[in-house]
Amino acid sequence: MATIIDGKAVAAAVKERAAAQARELEARGVTPCLAVVLVGDDPASASYVRMKERDCAEVGIESRDHRLPAETPQDELDELIDRLNADPAVDGILVQMPLPKHLDAESVIARISPEKDVDGFHPESLGRLVRGLPGFRACTPAGVMEMLHAYGIDPTGMDAVVVGRSTIVGKPMALLLLEANATVTVCHSRTRDLPAVCREADLLVAAIGRPEMIDSSYVKPGAVVIDVGINRTEKGMVGDVDFASVEPVASAISPVPGGVGPMTRAMLVANTLEAARLRADASQS
């Protein structure tokens, strides 16, 4: 029987810490503030934004809502980003993805000031991660690291396999595990004999976007399995891991829902608090 890694509980602890930091900052005259930009009316994006704003309210972060119509031209979105970059009261800027197709997401991400890049997607933030410098780490992989830490799972010396090489999850995940002294293999759709590579893993992270693809035939007995996947199916939300098949084999496993998802949101709050702390320190130095 595997230990079930309770992302909700770890996220609650992260948010409690954040709330205490927010109170300290308030006492120094700084109200942490996250600007949330939503373009269009995609229901899933609107619901993510609502949850993020609720998290902010819970810990004492002011959130400023910027809702733009789906047909907003690039220059108007750029102007908004510029205004938010220049606003000294705004600590973090979150542009909810995906953007409507006529907008250039890469240039929007690159336009956000790296000091306010609380999503950790900016090329400078990723460059800082590669160079081992301080900076904002992408929330999902940072959340996975926090979960492992909370459960006393030290990646040092482990053979870690990350399935998925996206810029927001797979690649930063691999780099964070490398930073934590794991020996890391990154897999993707062209990997030959994926089950065999995965079976070598002491720590397996699935960030694929394929419902329940990873079953016990991919898992070495005793491995730690982290399921990043969020897939909406007829039977509800499921991960990339077939929980029923893998749980009896793994030593620890994160469920979906209630695993990595809540951690991603908690790390956004933590990053925003960090941005606000840096602002408070800079204004008092």
Amino acid at 22: A
Using CB under 6 A, list all residues that contact ligand NDP: 140, 163-166, 168-170, 187-191, 194, 207-210, 228-231, 260-261, 264
Q: Is the CB of 25 or the CB of 211 nearer to ligand NDP?
A: 211
Closest-approach residue to ligand NDP (CB):
166
Dihedral angle of Cα 37, 43, 45, 50, to the nearest 10 degrees: 70
Query: Do residues 128 and 116 make contact, with C-beta atoms less than 8 angstroms apart?
Result: no
Instruction: Please say if 96 is a catalytic residue.
Output: yes
Instruction: Please say if 281 is a catalytic residue.
Output: no
> Catalytic one among 21, 55, 91, 96?
96
Give me the count of residues in the chain: 285
Q: Is the CB of 141 or the CB of 277 nearer to ligand NDP?
A: 141
Shortest Å, Cβ 179 to ligand NDP? 19
Amino acid at 40: G
* Residue the block writes with tokens 């927010």: 22
Shortest Å, Cβ 204 to ligand NDP? 12
Shortest Å, Cβ 51 to ligand NDP? 11
> Catalytic one among 15, 21, 52, 91?
52
- Residues 157, 77: Cα–Cα separation, whole Å: 45
Shortest Å, Cβ 31 to ligand NDP? 27
Q: What are phi and psi of 185, to 5 degrees?
A: -120, 135
Which residues have CB under 8 Å from 2's CB, separation 6+? 225, 246, 247, 248, 249, 250, 251, 252, 253
Nearest to 120 by CA among 178, 182, 60, 171: 171
Q: Is the CB of 105 or the CB of 280 nearer to ligand NDP?
A: 105
Instruction: Please say if 52 is a catalytic residue.
Output: yes
Shortest Å, Cβ 84 to ligand NDP? 23
Q: Is the CB of 94 or the CB of 169 nearer to ligand NDP?
A: 169
> Catalytic one among 55, 91, 117, 119?
119
With the C-alpha atoms ordered 188, 191, 193, 198, is the resulting torsion angle positive or negative? negative
Catalytic residues: 52, 96, 119
